[in-house]
Amino acid sequence: MEMPAPNQAILGLKDRLVARLQTVLPADAVIHDQAETRAYECDALTAYKCPPLCAVLPSSTQEVSDVLRICHEMGVPVVPRGAGTSLAGGALPTADSVILGVARMTEVLETNYDDRFVRVQTGRTNLSVTGAVEADGFFYAPDPSSQLACAIAGNIAMNSGGAHCLKYGVTTNNLLGVTMVMMDGTVVELGGAHMDAGGLDLLGLICGSEGQLGVVTEATLRILPKPEGARPVLMGYDSNEVAGQVVSDIIKAGVLPVAIEFMDRPCIRATEAFAKAGYPDCEALLIVEVEGSDAEIDEQLGLITQIARRHNPVELRESTSAEESARIWLGRKSAFGAMGQINDYMCLDGTIPVSQLPFVLRRIGEMSKEYGLDVGNVFHAGDGNMHPLILFDANKPGDLEKCEAFGADILRLCVEVGGCLTGEHGVGIEKRDLMVDQFAPDDLDIQMAVKDVFDPQWLLNPAKVFPLDASAKRRAA
């Protein structure tokens, strides 16, 4: 993955820039020592690293505004950073950029149960938003698997999803309003605590814009009353086709589970060896979770198991207790860790129409042989969001490149069958150069035109999302 060469003139501004930033931030909030800036050289896409010019850790919207105004005046690019958990390189700096981290902005600003919202600073982690309201019976629905660590800022930038979005939607469906600082330091309020936009839906445009349109410092989030309970059922099948059919039949039957998770054989074997969750050794495994009171759960699980039985499962295990539920989820939740035990891996994130599941899995299997790299599939089957994990050896020369080429082929396949490159991780640098496979030049041009409106100089996270050659003129202007 290529990044633009740093602007030498900007590198030469470092001392002056740091001095100016120190006038608006406390001394410990401006990190410019070369040894210390290394802490910000990458996010969770660790294959790519580059220390920034400096990093700043503001504590308020005002401080963010001051930082952006200075960078704007000096023409210095800014890369916003939440918790640095992006798998797509969304927070990867360039040598001539300032990392603007929101890690110190973690306050809960307002909690309103009657109107069902919470307002937080965006450095707060996803899980701790729920943590702030769960004692009172509420929760924040989007649950990306990195929710212990990931920040709301990054969730908004990437429009994060999670396992439970089949029922509750993704970030954009649960985001009511934001305070955002524009690149020139102007502070704007988009949305509020009310429902729907009064004019153009600028809030909807901001969510998922990968930190390229503004820096979101505060967010008003919808909170929901916690369901009385939830329980999963686990089922195993001897073919991916049959498991795919079961998913489709469940959805058509009118049940709306909160989650339908799917694992294929390589993934089942790896997690079984690692977590020993007692999963059956079969081709495809489904975990379907439903919510409600005990009686409601029984009613829904009854219907689901009835459908499951029609397709001759090799295993069907309905949870009747919290312990059994935890055991069923154990393997799924440790799937990534388990794959990581075996090897280095790259986690993909394409989405496909659910009906294409068996075909896509078969093709991935064939490509796996062609490339000579193993791949395990774990994904949110209800909404077609796949997470193929390609195993490779980072120490073996050429393996990373081979893995990236394989990954690109899988994502192109997703687009070919009517899906998309990324369901919840975002484009970042990882899928930047594949955008031409999903979008025509005009489709990309209108998106870049939106950035022209919000950030005319292209200073905010400029080398992401769009292929470098497509954005070259705009970045240079």
Partner 1 sequence: MMTPQTEAELAEMVGAAQGPLHVFGGGTRPIGRPVTGEALSLSALSGIVEYEPGALTLVARAGTPVAEIEAALAAEGQRLAFEPMDHRTLLGTEGAPTMGGVVAANVSGPRRVAVGAARDFLLGVRFVDGTGRVLKNGGRVMKNVTGYDLVKLMAGSYGTLGVLSEVSLKVLPQPEAVVTLTLHGVDAAGALEAMTRAITSPYEVSGAAYLPGDTPRVFLRIEGFAGSVAYRAAQLKTLLADLGQITQTDTPEESADQWRALRDVELLAGCANVWRVSMTPSALVDRLLPALGDALGPYQLDWAGGLCWLGADAGAGAADMHTRLQALVADPAINAGGGGHATLIKGDAGLRAQVPVFQPEPAPLAALTRGLREKFDPRGILNPGLMG
* Footprint (CB under 8 A) of partner 1, residues 99-118: 110, 112-117
- One-letter amino acid at 413 equals L
- In this structure, the chain runs to a length of 477
Residues 6+ apart with CB under 8 A from 338: 267, 270, 271, 273, 274, 275, 331
CA distance 380 to 389: 14
Q: Which is nearer to partner 1, 41 or 299 (CB)?
A: 299
Between 21 and 250, whose beta carbon lies closer to partner 1? 250
Nearer to partner 1, 31 or 156 (CB): 156
The residues in 342-361 that bind partner 1, with binding defined as CB under 8 A, are 351-355
Of the candidate spans 31-39, 59-67, 427-435, 468-476, the one that interacts with partner 1 by CB under 8 A turns out to be 427-435
Tokens of 214: 């503004």
Among the candidate windows 20-28, 56-64, 78-86, 247-255, which touches partner 1 by CB under 8 A? 247-255
Residue the block writes with tokens 């981290």 = 101
The two tokens of residue 270 are 């790896």
Q: Scanning residues 133 to 172, which ones bind partner 1 (CB under 8 A)?
A: 137-138, 158-159, 161, 165-166, 169-170, 172
Nearest to partner 1 of 29, 181 (CB atom) = 181
Residues numbered 372 to 411 that lie near partner 1 (CB under 8 A) are 380, 383-385
| Residues paired with 78 in a beta bridge | 98, 460
Select from 104, 93, 116, 219 the least CA-distant residue to 159. Answer: 219
DSSP secondary structure letters along 427-469: -TTTTGGGHHHHS-HHHHHHHHHHHHHH-TT--BSTTSSS-HH
Q: Please, which residue, 196 or 370, has the CB nearer to partner 1?
A: 196
181, 217 contact by CB (below 8 A)? yes
Of 10 and 120, CB closest to partner 1: 120
- Judged by beta carbon, residue 228 or residue 281, the one nearer partner 1 is 228
Nearer to partner 1 (CB atom), residue 36 or residue 115 = 115
Q: Using CB under 8 A as the criterion, what x/- string covers residues 248-287 for binding partner 1? A: xx-xxxxxx-------------------------------
> Could you give the 3-state DSSP secondary structure of residue 41?
coil
Which 407-426 positions form the footprint of partner 1 (CB under 8 A)? 418-426
Give the strands of the sheet with 30-31, arranged side by side. 30-31, 54-56, 98-101, 78-81
Rounded to 5 degrees, φ, ψ at 449 are -65, -30
Distance between CA atoms of residues 380 and 386, nearest Å: 6
Choosing from 36, 73, 228, 281, the residue that interacts with partner 1 (CB under 8 A) is 228
In the complex, what is the shortest distance from the CB of residue 372 to partner 1, in angstroms, rounded to a whole number?
A: 29
CB of 21 to partner 1, least distance (A): 24
What is the separation of C-alpha 150 from the centre of its chain, rounded to a whole number of angstroms?
9
- Closest distance between partner 1 and the C-beta of residue 224, in Å? 9
Of 168-227, which residues contact partner 1 (CB under 8 A)?
A: 169-170, 172-173, 177, 182, 186, 188-205, 207-209, 220, 225-227
Q: Rule CB under 8 A: say whether 132 interacts with partner 1.
A: no
Cβ of residue 1: shortest distance to partner 1, in angstroms? 17
Contact assessment for residue 249 and residue 164, using Cβ atoms and an 8 Å cutoff: no
Q: Which is nearer to partner 1, 186 or 312 (CB)?
A: 186
Contacts with partner 1, 432-461, as mask; x by CB under 8 A:
---x--xxx-xxx-xx-xxxxxx-------
Which residues, 6+ apart, have CB-to-CB distance to 321 below 8 Å?
A: none
Residue whose CB is less far from partner 1, 132 or 182: 182
CA 294 to CA 143: how far, in whole Å?
A: 23
Interactions with partner 1, residue window 37-76 (CB under 8 A): none
- For residue 346, list its beta bridge partners: 390
